C-alpha cells in the first residue's frame, strides 16, 4: 500500500504557481474570499486559503458578512466584486446559512470570476469539455492527484460515491472526459443506490465523497484498488484539544491494507482543493487581463 501525499503534491503545485506569479508584470492576481457567519470548519478552510494566497503572492481580500445578511444584500456584495477590476476571482464559502439559496448565490458570481467552478456556464463548459472554463477545485485536485501519482484512468472503472455539485457530479465528468489521464468508465452511486457494496467492489478507483464518517469498509473495496477519500468529517474526540478529530469517508485502518494507493485524511485531497483554487485564480487573472475587462 502506498500513501498518496496530498501535502507534497499540493506543495509542488504551490511552488510552480509562486514562480509563475513572480514572473507576472503589473498587478498581481487577487481573490475575494467571502465567508458568511462563523462556521468553525469554514473559518479554518478560509484561513488556509488566505495563507496559501499570501505564500504564492496572490492578494486575498477577506469579506465577512454577518450570518444575518439577507440574500439580496449578499447579491449586492457579489455584484460589487463582479464589477471591481482589481478582483480576479470570487469565492463564497459553502455552506451558507440556512434559508439561503446556495445555487442562486453561486450563479450570481460572474462566470469569468467563478474560480470555484459552480456557475452554470462553467459546469456547462465542463460537460462540453471546453477548457476555457473553471473546474471545481476538489474534482480538479483529485484528477491532479491521480495524474501526479501516475494513475492512468483509461479503461479503468471509476466508482464515485456521492452526487454533489461540489464533488460527485463534476469529478464523474472529469474522469470520463476525453483527456490523456481520464477516459474512465464511470459509475456514480448515491443514497438511493441498491447493492452498493457490490458496485464499489468493482472499482479500480473508488472516489468516496458522501460526507459520512468511515462509511467505506473493507468489504466494499476490491484488493488492489486506488481509493481517494474526499471526506472531511469532524467526529467528537475528548482526547484532542480541539474536542474533535478529522476523519474521512473511508475506514482507513481496515481499508488501507487492501489498497494499491490511498489518500489519508487529513493530508490527501484537502490541500489539493486549495492548490487548485490558486491555479484557477492565476488562470482568471491571465484570462481577465488578456480580455482587459
Residues that bind ligand GUN in the complex, under the rule CB under 6 A:
91-94, 116, 137-138, 166, 273
Residue 212 a catalytic site member: no
Q: Which is nearer to ligand GUN, 88 or 204 (CB)?
A: 88
Contact 226, 259 (CB under 8 A): yes
Residue 49 a catalytic site member: yes
Backbone angles phi, psi at 154, to 5 degrees: -55, 125
Q: Which is nearer to ligand GUN, 137 or 161 (CB)?
A: 137
The one catalytic residue in 5, 114, 116, 249 is 116
Write the CA distances from 130 to 111, 135, 159, 165, 259, integer angstroms. Answer: 14, 10, 24, 18, 33
Cα separation, 134 vs 122, in Å, equals 6
Cβ neighbors of 104 (< 8 A, separation 6 or more) are 71
Pairing of strands 244-247, 233-236: antiparallel
Shortest distance in whole angstroms from residue 200 CB to ligand GUN:
23
Shortest distance in whole angstroms from residue 278 CB to ligand GUN:
12
Cα separation, 135 vs 171, in Å, equals 9
Strand, helix or coil at 90? strand
Residue 156 grid cell: 479503468
Strand, helix or coil at 122? helix
Shortest distance in whole angstroms from residue 94 CB to ligand GUN:
4
The one catalytic residue in 5, 49, 88, 261 is 49
Cα separation, 175 vs 65, in Å, equals 36
Q: Which is nearer to ligand GUN, 32 or 184 (CB)?
A: 32
Cα separation, 224 vs 205, in Å, equals 9
What is the radius of gyration, based on Cα positions, of the chain?
A: 19
> Which residues are 34's β-sheet partners?
63, 92
Shortest distance in whole angstroms from residue 3 CB to ligand GUN:
23
Shortest distance in whole angstroms from residue 90 CB to ligand GUN:
10
Q: Which is nearer to ligand GUN, 164 or 288 (CB)?
A: 164
Strand, helix or coil at 265? coil
Q: Which is nearer to ligand GUN, 138 or 200 (CB)?
A: 138
Write the CA distances from 180 to 123, 168, 176, integer angstroms. Answer: 20, 21, 11
Shortest distance in whole angstroms from residue 63 CB to ligand GUN:
13
Residue number with the shortest CB distance to ligand GUN? 94
The one catalytic residue in 5, 88, 93, 249 is 93
Q: Which is nearer to ligand GUN, 137 or 259 (CB)?
A: 137
DSSP class of residue 196 equals H
Which positions are annotated as active-site residues? Answer: 49, 93, 116
Amino acid at each position: 500500500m502506498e500513501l498518496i501525499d496530498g501535502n507534497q503534491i499540493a506543495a509542488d503545485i504551490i511552488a510552480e504557481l509562486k514562480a509563475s506569479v513572480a514572473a507576472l508584470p503589473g498587478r498581481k492576481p487577487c481573490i475575494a474570499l467571502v465567508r458568511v457567519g462563523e462556521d468553525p470548519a469554514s473559518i479554518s478552510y478560509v484561513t488556509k486559503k488566505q495563507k496559501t494566497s499570501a505564500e504564492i503572492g496572490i492578494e486575498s481580500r477577506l469579506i465577512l458578512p454577518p450570518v444575518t445578511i439577507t440574500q439580496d444584500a449578499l447579491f449586492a456584495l457579489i455584484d460589487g466584486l463582479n464589477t471591481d477590476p482589481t478582483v480576479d476571482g470570487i469565492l463564497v464559502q459553502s455552506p451558507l446559512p440556512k434559508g439561503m439559496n446556495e445555487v442562486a448565490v453561486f450563479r450570481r458570481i460572474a462566470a469569468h470570476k467563478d474560480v470555484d467552478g459552480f456557475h452554470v456556464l462553467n459546469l456547462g463548459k465542463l460537460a462540453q469539455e471546453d477548457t476555457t472554463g473553471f473546474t471545481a477545485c476538489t474534482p480538479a485536485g483529485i484528477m491532479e492527484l491521480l495524474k501526479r501519482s501516475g494513475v492512468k484512468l483509461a479503461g479503468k472503472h471509476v466508482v464515485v460515491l456521492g452526487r454533489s455539485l461540489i464533488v460527485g457530479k463534476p469529478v464523474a465528468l472529469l474522469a470520463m472526459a476525453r483527456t490523456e489521464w481520464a477516459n474512465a468508465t464511470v459509475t456514480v452511486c448515491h443514497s438511493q443506490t441498491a447493492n452498493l457494496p457490490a458496485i464499489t467492489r468493482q472499482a479500480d478507483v473508488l472516489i468516496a465523497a458522501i460526507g459520512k464518517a468511515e462509511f467505506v469498509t473493507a468489504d466494499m473495496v476490491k484488493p488492489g484498488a486506488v481509493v481517494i477519500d474526499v471526506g472531511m468529517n469532524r467526529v467528537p474526540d475528548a482526547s484532542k484539544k480541539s474536542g474533535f478529530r478529522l476523519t474521512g469517508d473511508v475506514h482507513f485502518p481496515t481499508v488501507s491494507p487492501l489498497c494499491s494507493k490511498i489518500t489519508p485524511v487529513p493530508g490527501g485531497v484537502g490541500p489539493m482543493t486549495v492548490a487548485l483554487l490558486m491555479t484557477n485564480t492565476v488562470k482568471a487573472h491571465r484570462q481577465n487581463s488578456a480580455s482587459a475587462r
